[in-house]
Structure 1
Amino acid sequence: MFIIIGIVVVLGCVIGGFLMINGPLGALIQPSEFVVIGGACIGATIAANPLKYLMRILAVLPVALKGSPYNKNTYSEVLRMQYDIFVNSKKGGLLSIEDDVNNPLASSLFTKYPSFIANHHAVDFFCDAMKMLVNGACSPEELEIMLDAELETHHDEAAIIPALLNRASDALPGLGIVAAVLGIVVTMQHLDGPPEELGHHVGSALVGTFLGLLLSYGMLAPIAANIDNLGQDESKYFNCIKAGLVSFANGAAPSTAVEFARKTIYSFDRPSTTELEPLLKEIKPR
């Protein structure tokens, strides 16, 4: 949502300022410049990246347009989910939640937390770790190393699309110059024409440089930064889950494990102990 608002503000201010100095709006509408700059940018992006990265752009953009799903309510829910699982594990033993972690979508424990269960990456991350504990397949130290490796991979993967878009953004000013040079080439063919005609061609050529800069710094670079911020938000969410898991694996009480997880959350998204404690007290082991 904020991507759309930001782009509208950028275009509104740029075009509005141009109109304030009595600039002719029609002079900025140069379809040929859009074809040269946009087409060359898309072609270069296709040439530079494998298909799996290009398809990933289509998956990430709708998420970026919606904005980050991670807020205080989301974190409050994932903390309550962890507490619920940990309390039941303490009461009935780890084997009592084996069916839940093997099939979380059908589990009465997990389905109580819609924002968590809708995030299949988070569900897999948490349940895979709990399976290791249920099966006794690793020590707490090994679990932490394993989770760190998964988080590092997740972070690297999340950085692919912002880097891709930043490279495309960096190319746009240069492609704008290409379009401008082509416009100057056309202008040189009309040197014997009237000044009005020469001015029209030169103006059209300069629009290419303008569009390259505007599309780069006013649109594509901010979109890349927004997607990068989304990736960081998601990494923080996963770190919260990891902190709770590792603490519980090391023998901490459910409330202590949840507090470890809570401490990893940024202050503007972190539920306070006053807010969280009544919610945790409502959770009863089955």
Structure 2
Amino acid sequence: MDTASLGGILLALVGILAGLLLEGGHIGQILQPTAAMIVFGGTLGAVMLQFPLRTVLAACRRLVRIFFHGKDSGEATLQQIVRFANKARRSGIVSLDQDLSTIEDPFLRQAVMLAVDGTEPAELRRIMELEMDNHTEIEEKIPAVFESAGGFAPTIGILGAVMGLIQVMQHLDHIDEVGKGIAVAFVATIYGVASANLFFLPVAGKLKHRIHEEQFVRHMMLEGIVSILEGMNPRILEVKLESFLTSPRAKGKEESKPA
């Protein structure tokens, strides 16, 4: 579990609600189902209009990665590649065909399969880099869904507030209820601004971070399999791949070099 994500949401909610209670308010003042329906329904509709349904559903499925993330996935992948290197050194690269069914990551499985099939290192690198580029283009749309929701929600919150004020103005003959009605109307604005700044935009930022980490691990996978094909010593290979986990800046410098 990602304690930063869970703790961040809890801290934000506790801070806001505590401030409300200290000012003499109560939670019931901001619990308005109608306002929630307007803001979240309108935001979801706008997002679905902007993005294909498949992308929206993919973004919803990715939410679990905000709170649960395998911290040791990179280290486990490194050790798996080193085992492949030792086996290939003893029995040849073709011997890795027996391990294909045990590889869970589709990217690594495809890279190993190409290696077993006798693909040249340069060609394997070209194929898998193209796969990474396609994968990255798809993944970059996921945070964009939440960024768009963060942009729509405050505006729709204002729309909900205006709709509430319209209802209030139609009942000015009951002046005692006007103040209460105005307060209720502005709850929609609270929902819009709060959901954008406490959920949608932070989620987009965290997903970008997660995607960057996954891309980094895929670079390590590719470099590891190509190095195995080139006959690199497993111990040297392990040291080489460890730099991917300990020096994130190294990848940025490597990617900036001309091809």
- Residue 97 in structure 1 maps to residue 110 in structure 2: no
- Residue 233 in structure 1 maps to residue 213 in structure 2: yes
- Residue 135 in structure 1 maps to residue 117 in structure 2: yes
Q: CA deviation at 1:11?
A: 1.4
Q: CA deviation at 1:132?
A: 2.1
Out of 18, 21, 43, the position equivalent to 1:19 is 21
Out of 128, 137, 155, the position equivalent to 1:147 is 128
Q: For 2:54, what is the secondary structure of its paired residue?
A: helix
TM-score, normalising length: structure 2: 0.86
One-letter amino acid of the counterpart of residue 69, structure 1 = G
One-letter amino acid of the counterpart of residue 134, structure 1 = V
Listed as ranges, the gaps of 5+ residues in structure 1 are 106-116, 269-286
Q: CA deviation at 1:237?
A: 1.5
- Residue 262 in structure 1 maps to residue 242 in structure 2: yes
State the alpha-carbon separation in 1 of the partners of residues 17 and 153 from structure 2.
19
Q: CA deviation at 1:10?
A: 1.3
- 1:180-199 alignment runs, 5 A limit: 180-194=161-175, 196-199=176-179
Instruction: Pick closer, same or farther for the CA change 1:131–1:26 going to 2, 3 Å.
Output: closer
Q: For 1:264, what is the secondary structure of its paired residue?
A: helix
The count of residues paired between Structure 1 and Structure 2 equals 246
- Residue 161 in structure 1 maps to residue 142 in structure 2: yes
Q: For 1:59, what is the secondary structure of its paired residue?
A: helix
State the alpha-carbon separation in 2 of the partners of residues 7 and 209 from structure 1.
19
State the alpha-carbon separation in 2 of the partners of residues 81 and 153 from structure 1.
25
Q: For 2:63, what is the secondary structure of its paired residue?
A: helix
State the alpha-carbon separation in 2 of the partners of residues 96 and 209 from structure 1.
62
| Aligned partners of 1:36 and 1:179 also within 8 Å | yes
Out of 27, 32, 37, the position equivalent to 2:34 is 32
Q: For 2:112, what is the secondary structure of its paired residue?
A: helix
Name the Cα RMSD after superposition. Answer: 2.0
Q: CA deviation at 1:199?
A: 0.9
Q: Share of identical aligned residues, percent?
A: 24
State the alpha-carbon separation in 1 of the partners of residues 218 and 33 from structure 2.
45
One-letter amino acid of the counterpart of residue 85, structure 2 = F
Q: For 2:171, what is the secondary structure of its paired residue?
A: coil
State the alpha-carbon separation in 1 of the partners of residues 140 and 221 from structure 2.
20
Q: CA deviation at 1:267?
A: 5.0
The equivalent residue for 2:71 is 70
| Larger displacement relative to structure 2 (22-31 or 216-225) | 22-31
Deviations 1:188-212 (A, max 9, x none): 1123332x32111111122211111
State the alpha-carbon separation in 2 of the partners of residues 236 and 184 from structure 1.
51
The equivalent residue for 1:113 is none
Question: After the TM superposition, which segments of 4 or more aligned residues of structure 1 sit over 4 Å from their partners?
Answer: none
Instruction: Pick closer, same or farther for the CA change 1:131–1:29 going to 2, 3 Å.
Output: closer
| Aligned partners of 2:97 and 2:116 also within 8 Å | yes
Deviations 1:149-187 (A, max 9, x none): 222222222222211111011100000000011011112
Listed as ranges, the gaps of 5+ residues in structure 2 are 249-259
